[in-house]
Structure formats: C-alpha cells, structure tokens
Amino acid sequence: MKLFVGLGNPGPDYAGHRHNIGFMALDRIAADHGFGPWRKAHHGQMAEGRLGGEKVALLKPDTFMNLSGQAVHAAVAFFKLPLADVVVFHDELDLAPGKLRTKMGGGHAGHNGLRSIHAHLGEAYGRVRLGIGHPGHKDAVAGFVLHDFSKADRDWLGPLLDGISDGAAALASGDTAGFLNLVALRISPPRKTPRAAPEPGPTAAAKPDAPQPSPLSALHQLAQKFRP
C-alpha cells in the first residue's frame, strides 16, 4: 500500500491558493481514478482506491500547513507504512511554474509543511515538487503562496494536473521515470509533423485545348485544298 499526501490549507478560503497545489493534485487523482468518497480520518480528509495494481490512500491534512506532520504521522502509524511508501505533493518556490521534480529524502528547504513532517517522521519519504515560481523577494513569499493562481497560470496548471493523473499509477508502482515521462507528455506534448501538401493535379487551364470546329464548310475546305 502507498500513501499519497497533498499539502495545503483546509477550507474554501484557501482552495485556489498556490500553497494548495498539493491538494489539487490529489483531488485530480481521486476524481480521474474512481477513488472512494473523501472522509474524515487521521486529522485530515482521506480517500482510498487503486492505481494500477497498487492500493493507495490519499490524505489531505486538516491541520493547516504548519502542522501537516500530525496528520501524516497518524496515517503512517495506522497503516504501519515504511516512509519509503509515502509520497508528499507540495508547492515548490524554487521551480519555475509548471515544472515538476521528484525527490526521495533530503531537507525541507524551509517549507513549513515539510518541516512539520520532518519533525514527526524524519526525512526519508518521497516528494513530488510542484513548481509555482518565486515572487522575487523573500518578503513577498507569504502573500504569493497564500493567493489564488492567476488566470495566466491556468495555461500550465491544467496540463500539469492532467500529467500527474496520467502518471499516478506509474508513481504508485515505483516507476518514477514512467511518471515523469507521462507528466512531460502533458506539459510539452510532441509537435505533430505537418503532412506534405499533395502535388497539384493538372488544372483546366493546363489541359490541351480541344480541337475547335472550323467555321468553313466542308466544300469550302476542299476548294481551299486544291487551290493552285
């Protein structure tokens, strides 16, 4: 069994925030892959289903971002999972908007949700880092992440979430390369090679003229033939 965790803040006031892209990723997976209804469990909202041959639980903590570790710890303890079977989806300021990277273990890089998980469980879990870009100055970060995605962001956000859903089964099976490939196909689909235009056929103007009937009568033509 695998546990996919999406980080964000609960409630409708936060639903469209950049900080909630982890929630958005899990919502898309649940909707596209026929997961059961969301229910309250382990200090969060949980849905269960299958991705390929793997049973997967999805968890969106209700504890707010800074206390995410409480919910993740409760779910890991309930299912008795090794940390290697936990994957956390979270926003990433250090990646350009629409970019995605995977990572196993390592530091929290100042992300408060990851910091809380580290405090409860350590760092040996998987992450899917979802790029949202950086506002340019550290003092602007809080306002940036706690603000809705802009209309322009929809151009990359939709394909990114589609790609995550496409690759979710590969990720659950441990095929990280396959997951990344399926995401890339959505973000940067291959260009279609245009078909060569067919060679133009002969036009009516290019066809040889049909013989036109002579205005001379047959008798006149015969006389003209034997004229000295």
32 and 24 Cβ atoms separated by less than 8 Å? no
- The rounded distance, in Å, linking the Cα atoms of 4 and 49 is 11
Residue 134: DSSP 8-state: -
104 and 171 Cβ atoms separated by less than 8 Å? no
- The rounded distance, in Å, linking the Cα atoms of 180 and 182 is 6
Given 19, 33, 42, 43, the catalytic residue: 19
Q: Determine whether 147 is an active site residue.
A: no
- Residue 191 identity (one-letter amino acid): R
**Phi-psi domain of 139 (left: phi exceeds 0; alpha: psi -120 through 50; beta: other):** alpha
Tell me the catalytic residues: 19
